[in-house]
Structure 1
Amino acid sequence: MDTGTHIVMGIALGGLAMIDPVVATHPVTATAVVAGAIVGSLAPDVDTVLKLRNNAVYIRHHRGITHSIPAVLLWPIAITGVIHFIVPEANLLHLWLWTFLAVFLHVFVDIFNSYGTQALRPFSSKWVALGVINTFDPIIFLLHVVALMFWAFGANPVFTILLLYGIVFLYYLLRFSVQHAVKHAVRNTLPSAEEIIIAPTIRFFQWRIAAISKTHHYVGRAYGRSINIYDKFDRKPIPDSPLVKAALQDKNLQAFISFSPIYRWEIAQHEHIHEVRLIDLRYRSNDYYPFVAVVHLNEDLEILNSYTGWIFSEDKLRKKLDFMSN
């Protein structure tokens, strides 16, 4: 989920903590628990700072080790230790329990996005992504904001947050039901599809669609149960050539491949420069595919520059590549 949603989830969890008699009857502990719940709801996303290094590192590691099983166990210990050092009067055990729940809830809700997490590490490096909730879901966010407003105006926090969680739970079930209906409609539209990827959008009834058959890639969008296929590409294996082998040594292409489950490739030559481009098919927007990886090589197959990330025009991509080469 996005940062704003994680923040309101942390505050809401702090309200639910009033169900704990130790927290409810000890104001210092209550304050510490609310702080722990908010920080715990944000801590796993500390790896966002990897963007400052480069996109390749960010793509390979975001929601990776910081969302793993060891991290879920270690984050609460670290956060609790810092808060208890600042507020030693707070009950240590109950502070840890609610902070742990905040960290766990963060990782758990991220699983429902299409991006997913490596929540099963170190047992598996597989990305767990159920793809039913958009990274920012306005309904979930607004439900939390409304509940927090009721709490701020004097409503019982325990009852309010329990009611909130009940509504959110039903909303998740509804999203799964809609996703299932969309997938069924896609199978009827594309009976030859061997794999179907359905990703949510910020709009409730709209879903991105990418599908793979033995011979083609399909890209479209669902509006309710109405399926529109916009693009159809021949499915061809990437050439096993010296040029491609050299390009695949690039860190940006490697990061892209580790992240993207469905992409197509293009190879072009501009004067004395070879270009290898990989294009993720899941994020079509306004007739353009903005998530790409591009590498330029000279005639000796030496890498000149490369880039991976979100680009919404060819001019911006060229500027990025020119910047990388300087």
Structure 2
Amino acid sequence: MDNITHTLTAAALSQAGLNRKTRYATLALLIGSNLPDIDIVARLGGSAAYLNYHRGITHSILGVVTLGALLAATIYYLGRKASPPNKRSVPPLDGPWLLAICLISTAGHVLMDFTNAYGVRPFMPFSGRWYAWDIMFIFDPLLLAMLIVGLGLPAIFRLVSEEVGAQKTGFRRGAAFSLAGLVLLWGVRDFAHRRVLGMLDSHTYAEENPQRLGAFPSPANPFTWTGVVETASAYHLLPVSALDNDVDADRALVFHKAEDSPALDAAMKARTAVIFAGFARFLWRQAEETEDGFEVTLRDLRFYSPDEQRSGFTARIQLDKSLRVRSESFHFMGAPAR
């Protein structure tokens, strides 16, 4: 998920009651909810390096525990040296609760990232296998709106109460609303996801049976999905509504699989191609001969939009006529598919 959503979810957890458990609970939640994304430093090595390391060790079980413990130790150490709070309502610094809250924040970050199609690698460094729930878009406006409403309205009511001299309202109910909405949205999207997968699996595609299936969400509508079906000879992409009774397989956009060739074999040995192939779930390969040699294009069809005709997550390998790599690149937002 995006970092704004991570941050607002942490604020909701704090206001729901965790801020009453120990001093610095809110600070720990806000930092811990974004701490696993410290792997952003991999961007300094380029897009391919970032793809290779992002959501790796820092998003694993080992990473969650390590980062949470380090955060708790740091805040506890600095908190012990800080002056005591001025307000009596502030709870005392509690080491065990602080550790628990830091672990909740880092684990919550990974759980939210697990819900989208990008996925996480929870068993790093022992296994690099990706896991993804595939129910949430990486930026979900509906979830963000619920968090803003749940946290924002109580703040407005509190300002009004102060102005009219009434008793100040709290944030707890609004935070509970936001967190309940999050869980409800997950449930609705999971139901829709399972329904879409069932409809996709009930068809043949160009007289071939499905070998693998995927259903990937749209940014706003929890009932609108993009289906990806792999058969023996091609990938089929089609829009699917969970509110419909069936899918129209004839509307599928077909990506025929390329036959193995020396150019493809040579390109797949390039560093960028190796990284991308380890990440891509529905890898579609193209090889085109050019004046200088060959251009090999790799796409992960999870991130292809049939409506926008754009192909996110695209790698390109340029080969000379002797099949040596001339250049290699990877882009999260690919150019329009050709």
SS for the counterpart of 1:148 is helix
Contact 1:19–1:158, Cα closer than 8 Å, also in 2 = no
Partner of 2:297: 277
1:223 and 2:229 equivalent?
A: no
What percent of counterpart residues are identical?
A: 22
Residue by residue over 1:166-212, the C-alpha shift from the partner in whole angstroms, topping out at 9 and shown as x without a partner, is 23222211111111121222223446212111111103132122111
Deviations 1:128-165 (A, max 9, x none): 10101111111211111112124433543444333432
User: In 2, are the aligned partners of 1:247 and 1:303 still within 8 Å (CA)?
Assistant: yes
What residue number does 1:182 align with?
Answer: 196
How far did 1:85 drift? 3.1
State the partner residue of 1:4. 4
Q: What is the Cα deviation at residue 215 of structure 1?
A: 2.6
* Residue among 269, 273, 279 paired with 1:249: 269
* 1:121 aligned residue (118, 124, 131): 124
Change (3 A) 1:44 1:19: closer
Matched with 2:216 is 199
**Is residue 2:224 matched to residue 1:232?**
no
CA RMSD of aligned residues (A): 2.3
Equivalent residues of 1:8, 1:144 under 8 A apart: yes
TM-score in terms of structure 1 length: 0.85
Matches within 5 A, 1:131-142: 131-142=134-145
Q: Offset at 1:313?
A: 3.2
Partner of 1:58: 50
Q: CA deviation at 1:74?
A: 0.9
5+ long unaligned stretches in structure 1:
24-28, 318-326
Structure 2: segments with no counterpart, 5+ residues: 83-92, 159-167
Q: Which residue of 1 aligns with 2:181?
A: 167
CA distance 1:302–1:129, shift in 2 (3 Å): same
Alpha carbons 2:15, 2:171 under 8 Å: kept: yes
Normalized against structure 2, the TM-score is what? 0.83
Which amino acid in the other structure matches residue 269 of structure 1? E
Q: Say whether 1:112 aligns with 2:115.
A: yes
| One-letter amino acid of the counterpart of residue 95, structure 2 | L
* CA distance, structure 1, for counterparts of residue 68 and residue 335 of structure 2: 42
Q: CA deviation at 1:311?
A: 4.5
Give the Cα–Cα distance (whole angstroms) in 1 for the partners of residues 190 and 259 of structure 2.
33
Distance 2:104 2:17 in 1: 10
Amino acid in structure 1 at the alignment position of 2:100 = L
Aligned residues: 306
Q: State which drifts further: 123-132 or 110-119.
A: 123-132
